[in-house]
Amino acid sequence: QSVLTQPPSVSGAPGQRVTISCTGSSSNIGAYYDVHWYQQLPGTAPKLLMYRNKNRPSGVPDRFSGSKSGTSASLAITGLQAEDEADYYCQSYDTSLSGVVFGGGTKLTVL
């Protein structure tokens, strides 16, 4: 049972827009800690995709965007491409645990 809750899977056709939600609580996202997102392609290490809620590291296409409100955050992917098929994880910090927390991960399937 992950501290942050994500849908297990989402899917979309090429060119479409999908969103992945990440729900936390008052001890993490709601405590004003930022949310970060990772993309994990099959057989590879996770890669930082979005940091501090809505900032893209260099090299990440602007098709990816992030937002945060209250105790939740979202990752949106527009213009879906086959190469976006991967697992996506959200991450924040939890004051109760005094540590890093991850969502359970969302598998994105490009139809």
Partner 1 sequence: QVQLQESGPGLVKPSETLSLTCTVSGVSITSYYWSWIWQPPGKGLEWIGYFYYSGTTNYNPSLKSRVTISVDTSKNQFSLRLSSVTAADTAIYYCARHNSYNYEGLDYWGQGTLVTVSS
In this structure, how many other beta carbons lie within 10 angstroms of the beta carbon of residue 1? 4
- Shortest CA distance to 75 belongs to which of 66, 86, 84? 66
> Whose Cβ is closer to partner 1: residue 13's or residue 59's?
59
> Whose Cβ is closer to partner 1: residue 100's or residue 111's?
100
CB of 14 to partner 1, least distance (A): 26
> Whose Cβ is closer to partner 1: residue 70's or residue 79's?
70
> Whose Cβ is closer to partner 1: residue 15's or residue 41's?
41
| Site residues (vs partner 1, CB under 8 A) | 2, 33-34, 36, 38, 40, 44-48, 51-52, 57, 87, 89, 91-93, 97-105
CA 102, 67, 93 angle in degrees (round to 5)?
Answer: 30
CB of 48 to partner 1, least distance (A): 5
Is 101 in contact with 92 (CB distance < 8 Å)?
Answer: yes
Token pair for residue 106?
Answer: 């969302």
- Shortest CA distance to 34 belongs to which of 21, 49, 51? 51
CB of 85 to partner 1, least distance (A): 17
